[in-house]
Structure 1
């Protein structure tokens, strides 16, 4: 079997592993393996093929890592409305206690809500609030 065939088989296996695991970095490695196959088609020796695969694969991983580091971080899991459907919902607070907590009724159950503002700033008073995040089993609410 020719060297190029082995490189293409390795690239296909890396793509299959990426599809099974969802690890995008395996796709970058597959690009490097494809570069090794192209180097084999170009007639380079085995050492040249390995160098081509390593340089392109490592470069693709480095480029992807650099690109991801420049993107703004998404919301924390405790404040991500895509993970917690309660975030963004409105609730009614009838009274706040001295510790800045309130008992609210939401989705057919009683919950503890805490004020999203500064700990030194008291909650504004009774009224309608929006769930901003989850802290443990407490809703963090704000206006």
Structure 2
């Protein structure tokens, strides 16, 4: 069996295992194995093929790990609009209590409201929901 065929079979196996496990890193290693197969087609010796597989596959893994580290982290679940449909909605607070809490009617029910900025004096008006803290809406000024 030709050396390139072995490299192609290894690359295909890595892709198959990646599909079962769902790790993207195995796909990057499969790119390295495919590069080694191309090196075998070019007639490079075994040492060069292994070196190409290691450099390309390892480099792809390192690059992907670095790229993932550069992406912004998702918001905490209580402040993630993808998980909480109330994030970004507006509520009208008619009156604040002395402890900087309020009660508002929102989506057909009474909700407890807390001001996100603890340093500012609460004033009645429209507020934007920043996050949920249990069953309380944490709001900030629009």
TM-score (norm 1): 0.77
Which 5+ residue runs of structure 1 have no aligned equivalent?
Answer: none
How big is each residue's C-alpha offset from its partner over 1:14-71, in whole Å with a ceiling of 9 and x where there is no partner?
3344445553333322211111211222233333322211111111122223334444
Structure-2 change in CA distance of 1:95 and 1:63 (3 Å): same
Q: Which residue does the alignment assign to 2:113?
A: 113
Structure-2 change in CA distance of 1:52 and 1:96 (3 Å): same
RMSD across aligned C-alpha pairs, in angstroms? 2.5
Q: Which residue does the alignment assign to 2:15?
A: 15
Q: Which residue does the alignment assign to 2:130?
A: 132
Q: Which residue does the alignment assign to 1:47?
A: 47
Structure-2 change in CA distance of 1:21 and 1:97 (3 Å): farther
Q: List aligned pairs for 1:25-104, cutoff 5 A.
A: 25-104=25-104
Structure-2 change in CA distance of 1:99 and 1:27 (3 Å): farther
TM-score (norm 2): 0.77
Q: CA deviation at 1:112?
A: 2.3
How big is each residue's C-alpha offset from its partner over 1:118-139, in whole Å with a ceiling of 9 and x where there is no partner?
x232222x22211122234432
